[in-house]
Chains A and B, each alone.
Chain A
Amino acid sequence: MSSDLLNYSNKVNLLLVDDEQAYVNILSRRLERKGFQVKIANNGTQAIQLARIEDFDVAVLDLKMDDMDGIEVLKIFKKMVPDMIVIMLTGHGSEQAARDGMKFGAFDYLTKPCDFEDLVAKIWEAYEDKKTRF
């Protein structure tokens, strides 16, 4: 993976949105180790505020949060920062919501708890996609 990292002069700017504090903490550490620039948001409101002040390449968005529905957050993201790629995280059994998310412009979805390597691969895929598009 470190070889991949050399291919990109700028680090990938990543926004992690999940209300489970412990989960985003450890995930951000592991992702930072992989060379990503990671910012954490614990709820929808925070995520939107962060996205307003900073440019992110990719957002990993949990669909189930206390204050806002993930789909709502996604819609706002797509209006506010259309060039940010969004990967959704869903619980098992609520894939329907994830498929709905795809309709609103999400890049892809992963089922929680997801395999870390899968997540990293998905993020790279998303980043590649962004680079080819913009």
Chain B
Amino acid sequence: MTTTEKTSESYYRSLTRNIIFVIVGVSVVPLILITFTIRYFSQTSYQDKVIEHLQVLNKKHKQNIDSFLKERLADIAILKDSYSFDQLANDDFLKDKLRSLQMNSSDALVDLGVVDEHGKQIAYAGPYDLRGANYAEAPWFKAAIQKPYCISDVFPGLRGIPHFIVSVRSENGSTWLLRATVDFDKFNSLVENIRIGETGFAFILNRKGEFQTKPRTDVPPQKDPYLSFLTPGTKDLEQEGVVSNSKIEGRDIIHVMSRLKDGDWVLAFQQTESDAYKALYTVRTITVLIFFLGVIGIAVVAVLLSKRLVKRIRQADQEKEMMDEKVIEAGKLASVGELAAGIAHEINNPVAVMVEEAGWMQDLITDAGPGSIPMVDEFERSLTQIKAQGARCKQITHKLLSFARKTDPVPKRVNINDILSEAISLCEQRVHSGSVKIQGQFAEGLPPIRVSPSEAQQIFINLINNAIDAIEPKGGILKISTRKEGDFIVADVADNGPGIPSYVLPRVFDPFFTTKPVGKGTGLGLSICYGIMKKLGGDITVNTAEGLGTTFHVKFPASKLIDKKAS
């Protein structure tokens, strides 16, 4: 028993395990696939979107800055074209033009100056006293005198403040330059105000890698990608919105760049990836969190569910086992019944022969006449005894045959009193001790009931046996009566035994509930009775009083009622 228990224990454990694996497997695998597919595609598309956005931003600002510079050049080109050298060489005239420029178009120009071909400033209007300044050696002048118009790099120059110069060259007669200084703060604000997220910022670099605007100081900008972008070898590359990635101090950085000023300057955007993809990373974290919560949830559910399922299965298995035992028992009973019937038939014939032989001897004695046979009385007594015992054998075989015959579940119209008499006579053999008296009080003229005689008998044999078990230890009376109650025929099986304890009472009709010692009762008797009565459309109820006795009421519908229902 212990080995079977152990093996079944491990069987249920492995069953639990398998169910858990199946549930977890079936639910987690799709979860993984969905999570990672969505993650991959959302990441790719989101990153593309962010980069695209940065590119658009970069191009737009490039255009802004380009147009700012072009406007400044246009401002002074108009002056140069509209007025003669003599007019512009006059400081007062120049001051007047500077003022009107600052008022009308933009206040981005700080000063104006006219420089001759040798680099000497011959007229100046502006906040500094730069009249007569010599720019012959200044790099901006050297570049500007070569081109019809020019924008210089940012430099501190004579005034010591970072600035840059726009200039146009006049070839009309003599060669001279009209130059203007661009307000560095104005220009700087164009770039400095570009902020993307927390770490994104913009700046402008020249070919030498010098800052043309003030970069944010807290993030060291990476110059390499921009300088390589500006080197002449890479001129084939697109001029705008070029993206590259690099790693600075362990952080992934996105660079977006566009050329300015014919490739002399580069407008650079730079932002850390973690900042640019912040929303994506948040979503990613949430997804992972949901995924793990989901997995934990599934695991918990799988464990609980499988435990409960296995518990049910175990219960069902136990019930089935008990049922199997019951079926085997019933099968045994049936075969015992068949055997008994067979024996009864076989015994009948020899008994009949015996009885007839005894009768024949009696015939012979009668024919011989009185007095002719000695001790004739003894012979007569002996023969009568043989016949009597033969009759007894006949009774026993009849009873055995009745028992074996009761296996048909086909309902018939029967009288309840007949069923009860038969059940009592079958049970009476148990109570030879004499401590139990069975009394029958049958009402006459009851309408028939329509039941399977064997099932009805089973009910009463169960009830009578239970009652005998209850009263046998102390002795008592078992009263069985029948009566009519409305459309029902009621049989009452009443004993004056100890009664049913109140804690047992609610469960007496439950299957497998028994108060008998293990192996004595199956706990099926009353539940079978209950099932049969419910099937018949009748009922079985119990009244009990502790110490006084128990009465079972078995209610059969009268046959008439059933016939009506059937039709």
| A residues less than 8 Å from B352 (CB atoms) | 20, 23, 112-114
| B residues less than 8 Å from A23 (CB atoms) | 349, 352-353, 356
Q: How many whole Å from B537's CB to the nearest CB in chain A?
A: 28
Q: A20-B349, A92-B398 given as contacts; is B363 within 8 A of A113 (CB)?
A: no
Contact A113 B359, beta carbon cutoff 8 Å: no
Q: A92-B398, A92-B401, A93-B401 given as contacts; is B359 within 8 A of A116 (CB)?
A: yes
Q: A23-B353, A92-B348 given as contacts; is B363 within 8 A of A30 (CB)?
A: yes
Q: How many whole Å from A33's CB to the nearest CB in chain B?
A: 5
**Complex Cα spacing A112 to B344, Å:** 11
Closest to A111 in B: B398
**Complex Cα spacing A7 to B350, Å:** 35
Give 1 or 0 for each of A17-38: 1 = CB within 8 Å of chain B CB.
Answer: 0001011001101100100000
The answer to the question of A91 belonging to the interface, with a C-beta cut-off of 8 Å to chain B, is yes
**Complex Cα spacing A26 to B390, Å:** 16
**Complex Cα spacing A91 to B402, Å:** 12
Closest to B401 in A: A93
Chain B interface size, under 10 / 10 to 19 / 20 to 34 / 35 or more: 20 to 34
**Complex Cα spacing A30 to B366, Å:** 12
Contact B397 A29, beta carbon cutoff 8 Å: no
Within 329-348 of B, Cβ neighbours of A (below 8 Å) are at 341, 344-345, 348
| B residues less than 8 Å from A112 (CB atoms) | 348-349, 352
Contact A113 B394, beta carbon cutoff 8 Å: yes
**Complex Cα spacing A100 to B400, Å:** 23
**Complex Cα spacing A25 to B344, Å:** 22
Contact A113 B390, beta carbon cutoff 8 Å: yes
| A residues less than 8 Å from B401 (CB atoms) | 91-93
**Complex Cα spacing A112 to B352, Å:** 8
**Complex Cα spacing A116 to B367, Å:** 17
Task: Specify the main secondary structure of chain B where it touches its partner.
Answer: helix
**Complex Cα spacing A33 to B344, Å:** 30
Cross-interface CB contact of B357 among A20, A26, A92, A93, cutoff 8 Å? A26
The answer to the question of B533 belonging to the interface, with a C-beta cut-off of 8 Å to chain A, is no
Contact A30 B404, beta carbon cutoff 8 Å: no
Contact B349 A30, beta carbon cutoff 8 Å: no
Q: How many whole Å from A120's CB to the nearest CB in chain B?
A: 11
Cross-interface CB contact of A113 among B355, B360, B402, cutoff 8 Å? B355
Q: A33-B363, A92-B397, A92-B401 given as contacts; is B349 within 8 A of A116 (CB)?
A: no
| A residues less than 8 Å from B363 (CB atoms) | 30, 33
Q: How many whole Å from B394's CB to the nearest CB in chain A?
A: 6
Chain A interface size, under 10 / 10 to 19 / 20 to 34 / 35 or more: 10 to 19
Q: A33-B363, A33-B367, A91-B345 given as contacts; is B356 within 8 A of A26 (CB)?
A: yes
Closest to A64 in B: B345
Contact A93 B367, beta carbon cutoff 8 Å: no
Cross-interface CB contact of B359 among A20, A30, A91, cutoff 8 Å? A30
| A residues less than 8 Å from B390 (CB atoms) | 113
Within 100-134 of A, Cβ neighbours of B (below 8 Å) are at 112-114, 116
Q: A20-B353, A23-B353 given as contacts; is B348 within 8 A of A113 (CB)?
A: yes
The answer to the question of B351 belonging to the interface, with a C-beta cut-off of 8 Å to chain A, is yes
Closest to B351 in A: A113
| B residues less than 8 Å from A93 (CB atoms) | 341, 398, 401-402, 404-405
Give 1 or 0 for each of B379-420: 1 = CB within 8 Å of chain A CB.
Answer: 000000000001000100110011011000000000000000
Q: How many whole Å from B454's CB to the nearest CB in chain A?
A: 13
| A residues less than 8 Å from B348 (CB atoms) | 91-92, 112-113
| B residues less than 8 Å from A30 (CB atoms) | 356, 359-360, 363
| B residues less than 8 Å from A91 (CB atoms) | 345, 348, 401
Contact A116 B356, beta carbon cutoff 8 Å: yes
Q: How many whole Å from A24's CB to the nearest CB in chain B?
A: 9
| B residues less than 8 Å from A26 (CB atoms) | 353, 356-357, 360
Q: How many whole Å from B414's CB to the nearest CB in chain A?
A: 15
| B residues less than 8 Å from A116 (CB atoms) | 355-356, 359
| A residues less than 8 Å from B344 (CB atoms) | 92
Closest to B341 in A: A93
Q: How many whole Å from B359's CB to the nearest CB in chain A?
A: 5
**Complex Cα spacing A30 to B360, Å:** 6
Closest to A91 in B: B345
Q: How many whole Å from B392's CB to the nearest CB in chain A?
A: 12
Q: How many whole Å from B560's CB to the nearest CB in chain A?
A: 25
Within 145-188 of B, Cβ neighbours of A (below 8 Å) are at none
**Complex Cα spacing A22 to B349, Å:** 9
| A residues less than 8 Å from B398 (CB atoms) | 92-93
Q: How many whole Å from A106's CB to the nearest CB in chain B?
A: 20
Q: How many whole Å from B344's CB to the nearest CB in chain A?
A: 8
Q: How many whole Å from B125's CB to the nearest CB in chain A?
A: 142
| A residues less than 8 Å from B404 (CB atoms) | 93
Can you identify 26 A-B contacts, CB atoms within 8 angstroms? A20-B349, A20-B352, A23-B349, A23-B353, A23-B356, A26-B353, A26-B357, A29-B360, A30-B359, A30-B360, A91-B348, A92-B344, A92-B397, A92-B398, A92-B401, A93-B341, A93-B398, A93-B402, A93-B404, A93-B405, A112-B349, A112-B352, A113-B355, A113-B394, A114-B352, A116-B359
A sample of 8 more A-B contacts (CB under 8 A), given A30-B359, A92-B397, A93-B398, is A29-B360, A91-B345, A92-B398, A93-B341, A93-B401, A113-B348, A113-B390, A116-B356
| 9 A-B pairs closest in CB distance | A113-B352, A93-B401, A26-B356, A22-B353, A20-B349, A92-B398, A92-B401, A23-B353, A93-B405
